[in-house]
Amino acid sequence: MSTTTSPSSSNNANGIVARRAAIAQLRSTSDKHANLINVAKCAGWAKRHGAQMLFLPECFGFMGESAEQTLKEADPPILSNNAAEFEDDNVGSWCPATTSFREILSQTIANAAAGGDDQDDDQFSVEIISAFSASSSLPTISIIDELRFIACKSKLWISGGGVHTKATMPQATTSTTATTTNPVAENKVYNTHVIINDRGQIQAHYHKIHLFDVSIPGKVELRESSTTSPGTKLVVCDSPIGKLGLSICYDMRFAEMYVEMVQKRGAQVLLMPSAFTVPTGKAHWHALLKARAIENQCYVIAAAQVGRHNEKRQSYGHSLVYDPWGESLADAGGNDGAGSHGTVAGKTCNSPVYAPSLIIADIDLNKVEKVRQSMPMQIHRNEFRFSD
């Protein structure tokens, strides 16, 4: 099994590649337990290939079949980033109701990390999912809590590219402008991107700002705002692979938010996890992501959903990484065929591509600086002002 990495990868004295990113491609459904087992498998694969951080797409833990189901299955609100970290000796007791499920997650991580043929991984997953689904009582789980557990057990930082979390109501006020400045409606959720460190702590979280309300006759009919409230704050945070600028899917069409994250907040790696529709993906996916990389002179990491999730939803795929010069470092392929670079774990075929699967790229922050020095667009952008 060969590993696909960027040409600029570098080893330290111990022979470990620094700043290695693992990007998952998933086909999530409404079965949270099965989805999280696939995430655990990707975490094990990422460990096998020496990654420091795993990147997951939007809706990695749950892809609803209706608005009502999405609202019902949403995670609790995130009230603080300073959640208690997991300890190796009490990870099961942190949430006793899901201890048996966490044993399965732990075993899945260990099995995938140990290596062997991917067919063995597949058979293992089929067996444990079947055994667990046969249980008389499946525990109610929080996607974010289980993701924190996976991060702690795998010792990976994880980008959870989109989880529906319940929106807290604003405080009572007599002001008629409150709903404009804090547009949180009752019975709605946030689409939340979480960054979790290797101790299971929530490092940062971002609420999706731009909601996908789009009607393309005969092709796409989605109204995200029917269930989701928009966020209002940009988020940039530190990580082992660099300073991350957080966003989700449809956000990528709004270039100004990335300029803000780069110019004023120092982002070096822009994250755009997605569940892109097939028509819009074929038309715009690669062009948009490449443009964001070039104009901001940053790495772009876009973990993606692929294939049919249910009768209503199908995703384009093509998890990928662009470098600051706009070169593609890895592409997992999608509904229209294999990517330009193969996967390092999971099977591949032309259509549809296999999921879950994983691609690998090495993030060289020196390249960010070199590109910006040779073509100082960020300085020129600051210096230029339009005349009246």
Per-residue pLDDT tens for 188-215?
999 999 999 999 999 999 999 999 887 7
Give kind and range of the element (H or E) at residue 130.
Answer: helix 118-133
Report, as an integer, the average pLDDT of 6-17.
Answer: 43
Instruction: Provide the whole-model pTM.
Output: 0.86
Q: What is the pLDDT of residue 118?
A: 56
Q: SS3 for 225?
A: helix
Report, as an integer, the average pLDDT of 232-244.
Answer: 98
Is 298 buried (19+), middle (13-18) or exposed (0-12) by CB count in 10 A? buried
Residue 368 pLDDT exceeds 70: yes
Take residue 261 and report the two structure tokens written for it.
Answer: 């994250």
Number of H helices, E strands in the chain: 10, 16
Is 206 buried (19+), middle (13-18) or exposed (0-12) by CB count in 10 A? buried
Q: What is the pLDDT of residue 311?
A: 85
- The CA–CA distances, whole Å, from 119 to 2, 38, 124, 189 equal 16, 14, 9, 38
Phi-psi region at 303: left, alpha or beta (left = phi > 0; alpha = psi -120 to 50): beta
Banded model confidence at residue 125, pLDDT cuts 50, 70, 90: low
Q: What is the pLDDT of residue 202?
A: 97
Q: What is the mean pLDDT of the chain?
A: 83
Q: What is the pLDDT of residue 9?
A: 44
Low-confidence winner among 169-173, 258-262, 322-326, 338-342 (lowest mean pLDDT): 169-173
Cβ atoms within 10 A of the Cβ of 362, count?
24
Among 282, 164, 272, 161, smallest CA distance to 216 is for 282
Q: What is the pLDDT of residue 16?
A: 38
Q: What is the pLDDT of residue 173?
A: 45
Cα–Cα distance, 311 to 69 (Å, whole number) = 14
Q: How many Cα atoms sit within 13 Å of 153 on the Cβ side?
A: 27
Cα–Cα distance, 128 to 119 (Å, whole number) = 14
Q: What is the pLDDT of residue 80?
A: 67
Q: What is the pLDDT of residue 329?
A: 96
More confident residue, 127 or 9: 127
Low-confidence winner among 87-101, 242-256, 348-362 (lowest mean pLDDT): 87-101
Residue 5 pLDDT exceeds 50: no
Residue 132 pLDDT exceeds 80: no
Take residue 181 and report the two structure tokens written for it.
Answer: 């400045």
Report, as an integer, the average pLDDT of 49-54.
Answer: 97
Residue 235 pLDDT exceeds 60: yes
Report, as an integer, the average pLDDT of 365-387.
Answer: 87
- C-beta of residue 50 within 8 angstroms of C-beta of residue 12: no
Q: What is the pLDDT of residue 231?
A: 95
Report, as an integer, the average pLDDT of 138-144.
Answer: 85
Going by their DSSP bridges, the two strands 299-302 and 269-271 should be labelled as parallel
Banded model confidence at residue 37, pLDDT cuts 50, 70, 90: very high
- Beta-ladder partners of 223: 213
Per-position b or e across 105-123, b if 16+ CB within 10 A of its CB: bbebbebbbeeeebeebee
